[in-house]
Amino acid sequence: MDVMMVSSLSALVLTLISLSAADDLDGFVPGFRIDPIFRPPSCTYRAQEGDYVYQHYTGYLSDGTKFDSSHDRDGTYNFNLGVGEVIKGMDMGMKGMCKGEKRKITIPPELGYRGRDLGKIPPYSTLIFEVELADIDPSGFKIELISMPDNCTRRTASGDHIREHYNGTFPDGTPFDSSYDRNRTYDFTLGERQVIKGVDMGLMNMCQGEKRKITVPGILAYGEDGYDDLIPPDATLVFDVELVEIVEGKLKWYKIDGPDCSVEEKAHHHDEVTIMYNGFTESGFKFTNGEDPYKFRVGAEEMLHGLNHGVTGMCNGERRRLRIPPELAYGDVNEAGIPQGIRLTLDIEVIDIHKEDMFKAIDANSDRYISMKEVEEWIKSNPEYEEKVAESKEELENLKAYYFTDRDVDKNEWVSRNEFYFTLSHHDEL
C-alpha cells in the first residue's frame, strides 16, 4: 500500500493515502465473528500485530462450499500478522491466538474481498475460515510501563486526538529524535495511520499522564526501506513516551443495513426522529430503550451530541452502529449508572422521520426570506456540517453556495421559499 511522508523528519510520521470504512472503525463491523473451536490448556504468548505466524486454514462460502485449504497443499500458510499481507478480516481474526489454538472466523465482504470476482469466491461474499495457529515467531514488539497516574478515568482509543512527548532511540541507546528537544508535544489522531504502526499500537488504552517504553520492530516501523539516512532498513526503534493529554475523541459509525434515500429524505438538524436502540460500554454495561420507541429532535441540546451527530444523514429504516467518545457522550459525569469518561457503543434503527421545514429552520428572524448570514449561522450550528466546516473554509463556501447562492435565482441577495424549494427539488445529492 502506498505511503507518503506528511511532515518533517522530526515528526517521523507515516500516513496511508486512503482508509476503508472498516479501517475507520477499527474492524468494528457487524457480521465479523470469532468462534472458538479449541483452546490449548496453557498459553504463554498470544499472537499480535507484527508477528510472523504459521497458519493452517480451510475456507468456505456461507453456503458451505469449500474454496481453498492449506491442508490440501500439505503445508502451512505463513505471513506477518496485522500489516496487510492478508485480508483485513483474517488479520483481525488471528490476533490474540495461542499456538495450537483453533478458531472459526466469519468475515463479511467489507473485511474480505468486497466486490472482486475471484472465481471460486463471488463478489461480495461472506467468508468462513476454520483456522489453526501452528506456530508463532514473535516480532519483538513490547510495551513496558514506566509510570501510571494516581487517577485514570479515561483511556485512549482509536480516533482520539492526543498530545504526546517522546524520546526515540535505537536499542543500543543511540538517540535519533525527541519531541523534548523541540520543547513541544507531537499531536495527532490515534489509530488513523498518522504515525508508524507500532506507535499507534503502543499508545492504545493509555491513561493521560502515563509513561511507557515501546519497542517497535522494523516491520511495525519503517520496514525494509528505512527512512533516509536516519533510520536503517528493518531497524528496531525504542520510544519512551508520555501521554500529555487526550484532547478529544471522534464519533465513528458504520451502516449495518437499510435503504438508501435522497438528501431531502435523510434525517437532518431539527427533524424529529424515532429510533430503537441497544447500547453497551467497554466494561459490558448494557442499556436499551426496551419495546418503546425513543423520539427526539436532531440537534436538541439535551441529547447526547454523539447521537445527534450519528443519526444525522440516516434514512428511514436504516440501522447504524455508533461508537461515541466520552466528549460526545456523558463526559466526566456519571449518568444512569454509566461510569464517567466511558466510551459508548449504540446500535440504532430509525423507524420514523418527521421532516422539519428546512426553510423555516434557516429563517432565524422569521421574515420569510433567507439571507446569506442566516444560512452561514445555520450551517455552523448543524451537527452534520460543523466538523467539516471547522476544518475547511472551502467546505463552508461550498455549502453556502448550495443553500444560498445557487437558489438565489433573481440574484437579489435574498432567497424566498419558492426559490429555496424549487431549486432543492432539482438536487438529489449534496
196 in catalytic set: yes
**Terminal alpha carbon distance of the chain:** 31
Annotation says 239 is catalytic: yes
CA distances from 110 to 27, 91, 196, 286 (A): 9, 13, 24, 27
Query: What pLDDT, on a 0 to 100 scale, did the predictor assign at position 162?
Result: 96
Asked whether residue 371 is domain-assigned, the answer is: yes
Catalytic one of 166, 227, 254, 330: 166
Write out the H or E segment, with its range, that includes residue 272: strand 272-281
Helix (H, G, I), strand (E, B) or coil at 147: strand
Select from 190, 223, 248 the last residue of a domain. Answer: 248
What pLDDT does residue 58 have? 97
Q: Is-catalytic flag, 166?
A: yes
* Number of domains the chain contains: 4
Same domain assignment for residues 366 and 404: yes
Task: Note whether 175 and 203 are same-domain residues.
Answer: yes
154 and 301 both lie in a single domain: no
CA distance 169 to 214: 11
For residue 112, the model assigns a pLDDT of: 95
Residues 105 and 84 in one domain: yes
Determine the distance from the C-alpha atom of residue 408 to the mean position of all C-alpha atoms in its chain, rounded to a whole number. Answer: 39
pTM score of the predicted model: 0.72
Which CATH number goes with the domain that contains 200?
Answer: 3.10.50.40
Exactly one of 52, 170, 176, 402 is catalytic; which is it?
A: 176
Q: Domain range for residue 304?
A: 252-354
Residue of 239, 330, 404, 420 with catalytic role: 239
Same domain, 96 and 170: no
Query: Which residues in 134-149 are b (16+ Cβ under 10 Å) and which e?
Result: bebeebbbebeeeeee
Looking only at the bridges linking them, the beta strands covering 3-5 and 14-16 are: antiparallel
Domain boundary among 248, 273, 302: 248
Is residue 430 included in any domain, yes or no?
Answer: no
Q: Comparing C-alpha atoms, which of 291, 277, 299, 199 is closest to residue 241?
A: 199
The one catalytic residue in 51, 160, 177, 408 is 177
- What b/e readout covers 182-197, taking b as 16+ CB neighbours within 10 angstroms? eeebbebbbbbbbbbb
> What's residue 340's pLDDT?
64
- The pLDDT value recorded for residue 269 is 74
Residue 22 lies inside a defined structural domain of this protein: no
Options 105, 162, 196, 379, the catalytic residue: 196
- Strands 237-248, 186-189: pairing kind: unpaired
Q: Does residue 201 share a domain with residue 151?
A: yes
Tens of each residue's pLDDT in the chain, 430 residues: 222 122 222 332 222 222 233 333 444 677 899 999 999 999 999 999 999 999 999 999 999 999 999 999 989 999 999 999 999 999 999 999 999 999 999 999 999 999 999 999 999 999 999 999 999 999 999 999 999 999 988 899 888 999 999 999 999 999 999 999 999 999 999 988 899 999 999 999 999 999 999 999 999 999 999 999 999 999 999 999 999 999 988 888 888 889 998 877 888 877 899 999 988 887 778 888 778 899 998 877 778 888 988 998 899 999 999 989 888 887 555 555 566 677 888 999 999 999 878 888 888 998 989 999 999 998 888 877 877 888 888 989 988 988 899 888 888 999 988 787 655 433 322 2
Q: List the beta bridge partners of residue 369.
A: 416
* Same domain, residue pair 244 and 146: yes
Residues 241 and 157 in one domain: yes
Look up 176 and say whether it is catalytic: yes
Residues 216 and 256 both lie in one domain: no
328 contacts 347 by C-beta, under 8 angstroms: no
200-to-13, 114, 149, 164, 306 alpha-carbon distances in Å: 11, 26, 21, 12, 24
Q: What pLDDT does 390 receive?
A: 83
The predicted structure's pLDDT at residue 291: 83
Active-site entry in 57, 222, 227, 403: 222
